[in-house]
Amino acid sequence: MSTQHIPVLISEEAIKEKVQELALQVSNDYKDKELLVISILKGSWIFMADIVRKLEKIGIKCDFIKASSYGSKKVTSGKVKLTGINTKSIRGKHILLVEDIIDTGITLKAIKGYLEQFNPQTIKICVFLDKPSRRKVEVDVNYVGFTIPDKFVVGYGLDHAEQFRNLPYIGFIEE
């Protein structure tokens, strides 16, 4: 599918404004503290990079965790597989878990529960997109970019079968 056929849901300009707003909130909440920012791969790395570049007056370390529950499908399998994080870096730290989208909540709940085993000082969650109509489990999210309708979205790091991550906006694939 060509990117010419992907309708825009959230513009590039709106994304830039929201990233700045979220970074300001995080900067105020963690002023003069050190923060371990953990990106959930693959979808959130562009969002995380943009947020981290805008954080001020905070010591930053970054790490990544890979979570998969979709494969190449448009619907989650409900089983979350986690790989890739250095768990020794978590103990006693302030953690900001950065995710591209929360829909069912299953993946975020699993990751937060997993990280809590390693005794961080705090864990807060920052999601770029929230799709509450699909929620199956509740998860406390501290920072939300945009609330969106139940559409399959791509762009700004989000993909469908590894395509469309490079779009500078959020678009949607029509069924």
Catalytic residues, which ones?
A: 103
Q: Compute the mean pLDDT over every residue in the chain, rounded to the nearest whole number.
A: 88
On the question of pLDDT at 2 being above 70, the answer is no
On the question of pLDDT at 72 being above 60, the answer is no
Average pLDDT over residues 145-166: 91
Q: Which CATH number is 3-168 given?
A: 3.40.50.2020
Higher pLDDT, 162 or 29: 29
Residue ranges per structural domain of the chain: 3-168
pLDDT, one tens digit per residue, over 109-139 is: 989 998 999 999 999 999 999 999 989 999 9
pTM above 0.75, yes or no: yes
Q: Encode the chain in three state secondary structure.
A: CCHHHCCEEECHHHHHHHHHHHHHHHHHHCCCCEEEEEEEECCCHHHHHHHHHHCCCCEEEEEEEEEECCCCCCCCCCCCEEECCCHHHCCCCEEEEEEEEECCCHHHHHHHHHHHCCCCCEEEEEEEEECHHHCCCCCCCCEEEEECCCCEEEECCECECCECCCCCCEEEECC
